[in-house]
Structure 1
Amino acid sequence: MKKISYLIVSLSILSTTLSSAQNKKATAPKTFPAEVARPKLVVGLVVDQMRWDYLYRYYNRYTNGGFKRLVNEGFSVENTFIPYTPTYTACGHTCIYTGSIPAIHGIIGNDWYDPQSKKNVYCTEDSSVTTVGSTPSSEGNMSPKNMLTNTITDELRLATNFKGKVIGISLKDRGSILPAGHAANGAYWYQGSTGNWITSTFYMKEVPTWIADYNKLKLANKFYAKNWETLYPINTYVNSTKDENAYEGKNSTFPHLLAQNIDKNFDAIRSTPYGNTITLDLAKLAILSEDLGADNITDFLAVSCSSTDYVGHAYGPNSVEVEDTYLRLDKDIEEFFNYLDKKVGKGNYTVFLTADHGAAHVPGFMKENRLPSGVVSDREIANKLNAYLNDKFKANNVVLKSMNNQIIFDHDKTDNGNVSFDVIKAASIEFLKKLDGLANAVDIAKISQSTLPEIQKKMITNGYNARRSGDIYYILNPNWFNGSSTGTTHGNWNPYDSHIPLVFMGWGIKPGATNKTHYMTDISATLAALLHIQMPNGCVGEPITEITNK
């Protein structure tokens, strides 16, 4: 009995000892190296209007070093969605880099109506600054001042005590300025009237020599002289419809003749794949000239390829033009990655690729294939609603405009009329619901009381900024949009506009993929976790733990 009792006590002591050891091991603090490890360079690649399915639609035609390399060497977050509406360029670039939503960061569209100044506001306009790098024009009167929050690029500047460099590059001012943030070393965008890359006095008094020298080359002329032929024999473009269709933009037949633009129309480069080529060429030059990634203090290069958006708007997702643009962009990205490997070193940089929004199929193409679609007009919606309210309440043109899927009322009139504003809004909502193409309409101030599906309610709420948004939000039927009968656009809540690619590759990233739902707001939170820096000050996203948990 004594032996048995002794054995039981011994086992009890051993069990307690092992349990204690395991608990100590489980709660032991994580150890870090003497210095926090970070990549030498972070590169953000935003492909304007890139639908998620483009990663795979043309996959078999991509090179091994471009999009395929991203998917195979990187980590793809397959179900990444935009969490707000409307889904426009300025909002998307801002959301990616702030981790925030229009309700907080304030960029509710490419432009909006400001009730205080009673005028339209462009997202990056700033009358207090002027053009640098070219002749003065409104194209250079730009800054990030309308963005109310900071960005992950700003947080990197803060974390490195402003030693880490941040540069933004895009054909579009909004695609360069908003990602680069408030504290950037530079943001450069393309001036279509001269063919120069410019900035503003918000950043500097004069452009650096490498920008000035690059501008002298007028590279648009070089590409104009080549015209735009398909990269491969046109009969191999089996992922597209026939080359010419009435519902595509003007001059929709290959080859696209560009030589007539030499020294005349520098802006035309935007609507060709070559706009992406010169953008990525300038990005390489920025790495070389600014010594980005040359030391152990992390730098950040924010690049937006905008020509995909211009081509997409003109011809639509099923066009030969869009397919050729992505095949050419794939080669440009391959060359860019090869340059990063050589200059910064493979494994020394982290790159992520995403999009600011997607795009709907062209209504003409949809109808050709017996699929529902249609087009509405902001002007017609505003005019019809005004006529109805004038007739019903003798209200004198109380609707200022329809924009960003919102009705904006003239509050000087609605607040001083004989009929309450609530009555006017209720009548307007019932009228809007009866218009062709409109699925629903809601009083934004009372959206919590609406019967909208939760996803629509959430996205509208996230897109609503109390000082900048309108009064009524209207929802279009699937594949209906504000636009013309040719080409396409975006802006709605639907997956074709809100489902975007997101792939991380390089330093700190293990190959893989997840089909778990994540959001555009999670990008900055994930970067903050990877870099061990603070999230942007308006961030509502969460780190993608499939990437950050090693």
Structure 2
Amino acid sequence: MKIKHLFLAALASLPMVTSAQKNKNTATPGTLSRPKLVVGIVVDQMRWDYLYRFNDRYVAGGFKRMLSEGFTCENTHIDYLPTETGPGHSCVYTGSVPAIHGIAANNFIIQATGKPMYCAEDTTVRGVGSTSVAGKMSPRNLQASTITDELKLATNFRSKVIGIALKDRGSILPAGHTPNGAYWFDDATGNWITSTYYTNDLPAWVKQFNDKKLPTAYLAKTWETLYPINTYKQSTTDKSPYEGAYRGEAAPVFPHNFPAIKGADFAAIRSNPLGNTFTLDFAKTALDAEQLGKGEQTDFLAVSLSSTDYIGHQFGPNSIEAEDTYLRLDRDLAAFFAYLDARVGKGNYTAFLTADHGAAHNAQFLKDNNIPGGTWDGFAAATQLNNMFEKELNVKRAILSIDNYEVNLNYAAINNAKADVEKIKDLSIAYLRKQPGVLYVVDMQKVQSASIPADLRERIINGYNAERSGAIQVILKPGYFAGHGKTGTSHGVSSPYDTHIPLLFMGWGIKQGSLNRDTHMTDISATLAALLHIQMPSGCVGKVIPEALKK
């Protein structure tokens, strides 16, 4: 009897574990458990190697926190072509590919009519917060559901979903078809706007945020480097022939005088690292105003950081500007995660970070360092082909465009001239194969029998949408990309510098660790669906990454 009393006394002295503590980050078998909030972060044009290239000067709470506390998939690739912003954001959130979700490129051709279409364009709506054409946008061109849509469906639309990005497509496509709001930046007014697809009036909190005129304050600052400029050892010298200058600058060198660069509108905030700061300022305001993570259902905040893309295009990945941008972004992310900890609670939210695509090194930089590379001018090739077809076949403008590494045929002109479409395709392929920098040219009707590597064939097929993609696919040699300028860089091809992207998860339900097996951009929404115990998006072809999830 004495032993029994001692045993009970010992039990009583142990700290009590509440059911809430026991279930934190884990689900009791047979019960439904979800995080209070999911935060999706897409860093536009972030190469995977940026996680480590600048790592020695990252702070503890940003990228390093995700790497140390969360789970990193080190070998995540994009599954299709072309690697662009619209298809990338669509793939992350649908788990699908352009062949299915329909966002074949940022700008594509409706093949039946020859009409050009911007991926988020919608002439049936009008802007809210601006009268400019920037407001005529919606997700209607996206032909599949998103993980954000599926969350709304799973909770009978009680979850809240908000999309935010400077770029309209970076906000609209992740937020899906059913969000509570999607907001993007209007260059003309310097305000966050939306469209009548979502609402007829901006919420009061958005108006109050716009009233702060933060772009004016940010563009009044000169861009100086965070550290002494001679300590940027991961970059080329400041005065480099590989970089493009801002409007009005004599040379692309620090300091960048944004008060002089700004111009008549507010577009300059896009190519300023403070554009990312401004975006996260707005995201924090949305978090508080919409009470995200405070309700009974899981909410979703989708944020895309666009300034990295504008700066990357202008200066290239080897510039001090790019290095300084990522060091500043790292600090912004640290502050943002700390804000989420305070408002939602550390361990109560799940965050993931990825990219929509990467970027090539500047072509001349590669040449100067004896590495194969170059640029290829698709516009010039289209002009040459049109001249040839007009002269030899009497067809005027048989080629609408060569864009997104695809040849778009002018079927109306070809039919009117009673010309042979197959002959025009064959002649185009024969001509393009002889162009410097071209590796393969593929007739999309014959792609299955084309003599190309199997992995490349799969990406071509995944990217081909019969209603919105060109009839011929052009594949360039490694190190080459479409363009004719000598500064900056671009993306869109099948090489690892464009397809190898970061993928990190952190927070509720996520293990600590890393993975080196192949994973894919399409796997992101499938993994989130498993985490949340909801259905995968309607066009999802991805697979769950079980190694990242707590059981």
Category of TM-score, reference length = shorter chain: over 0.9
Preserved contact between residue 385 and residue 432 of structure 1 (Cα < 8 Å): no
Aligned to 1:208: 203
Q: For residues 401-451 of structure 1, what are the alpha-carbon distances to aligned partners after superposition, in whole Å with 9 as ceiling and x for unaligned? A: 111111111112334555532222122111110011111101011100101
- Which deviates further from its counterpart, 223-232 or 54-63? 223-232
Gap runs ≥5 in structure 1: 1-30
Deviation per residue, 1:49-70 (Å, 9 max, x gap): 0000000000111000000001
Match of 1:57 among 53, 60, 63: 53
Maintained 8 Å contact 1:221/1:262: no
Deviations, residues 384-416 of structure 1 (Å, cap 9, x unaligned): 122333444444331121111111111123345
Per-residue deviation, residues 366-398 of structure 1 (Å, max 9, x unmatched): 122111111122210101122333444444331
Asked if 1:46 corresponds to 2:42, the answer is yes
8 Å Cα contact 2:510-2:550 kept in structure 1: no
Query: Deviation of residue 32 (structure 1)?
Result: 4.6
RMSD over aligned Cα atoms: 1.5
User: 1:437 matched to which residue of 2?
Assistant: 437
The Cα shift of 1:545 comes to: 1.5
Map residues 500-511 of structure 1 onto 2, 5 A cutoff. 500-511=501-512
Q: State how 1:217-232 maps to structure 2 within 5 Å.
A: 217-232=212-227
Structure 2 letter corresponding to 1:227: T
Task: Say which is worse superposed, 47-56 or 390-399, in terms of deviation.
Answer: 390-399
Cα distance in 2 for partners of 1:474, 1:481 equals: 11
2:320 matches 1:320 = yes
Aligned to 1:465: 465
What's the counterpart of residue 283 of structure 1? 283
Counterpart in 2 of 1:357?
A: 357
Partner of 1:294: 294
Matching residue of 1:89: 85
**TM-score, normalisation: structure 2:** 0.92
User: 1:544, CA displacement in angstroms?
Assistant: 0.6
Kept after mapping to 2: 8 A contact 1:39/1:296? no
Q: Please show how residues 153-302 of structure 1 align to structure 2 within 5 Å.
A: 153-250=148-245, 251=249, 252-260=252-260, 264-302=264-302
One-letter code aligned to 1:201? T
SS of the residue corresponding to residue 474 of structure 1 reads strand
- 1:470, 1:495 → 2: CA distance? 23
Amino acid at match of 1:538: G
Post-superposition shift, 1:157? 0.3
Rounded Cα–Cα distance in structure 1 between residues aligned with 2:30 and 2:279:
38
Q: Could you tell me how far 1:456 is from its partner in structure 2?
A: 1.3
Asked if the contact 2:111/2:469 (under 8 Å) is kept, the reply is: no
1:96-126: CA deviation from partner (whole Å, max 9, x where unpaired): 0000000000000001111334321000011
Q: Residue 8 of structure 1 aligns with which residue? A: none
Counterpart CA distance in 2 for 1:46 and 1:216 is 27
- CA shift, 1:363, in A, is 1.0
How much does 1:296 deviate? 3.2
User: 1-side partners of 2:382 and 2:187: how far apart?
Assistant: 32
- Residue 14 of structure 2 corresponds to none
* SS of aligned partner of 2:516: strand
Distance 1:54 1:276 in 2: 16
What's the CA shift for 1:517?
0.3
Q: State how far apart, in whole Å, the 2-side matches of 1:454 and 1:390 are.
A: 36
Matched, 1:477 2:472: no
Deviation at 1:169, TM superposition (A): 0.2
Alpha-carbon distance in 2 for matches of 1:363, 1:426: 30
Instruction: Say which SS state the counterpart of residue 516 (structure 1) adopts.
Output: coil
Conservation of the 8 A alpha-carbon contact between 2:511 and 2:549: no
The whole-number CA distance in structure 2 between the counterparts of 1:233 and 1:245 is 18
- Aligned CA distance change for structure 1 residues 394 and 264 (closer, same or farther; 3 Å): closer
Q: Which amino acid aligns with 1:64?
A: A
Q: Which segment drifts farther, 473-482 or 60-69? A: 473-482
Which residue type is aligned with residue 155 of structure 2?
A: T
TM-score, structure 1 length as denominator? 0.92
Taking the aligned partners of 1:447 and 1:247, their CA distance within structure 2 comes to 36
1:511 offset after TM fit, Å?
0.6
Distance in 1 separating the partners of 2:41 and 2:456: 28
CA distance in 2, matches of 1:68, 1:57: 12
SS at match of 2:219: helix
Structure 2, unmatched stretches of 5+, are 1-26
CA distance in structure 2 between the partners assigned to 1:514 and 1:35 by the alignment:
29
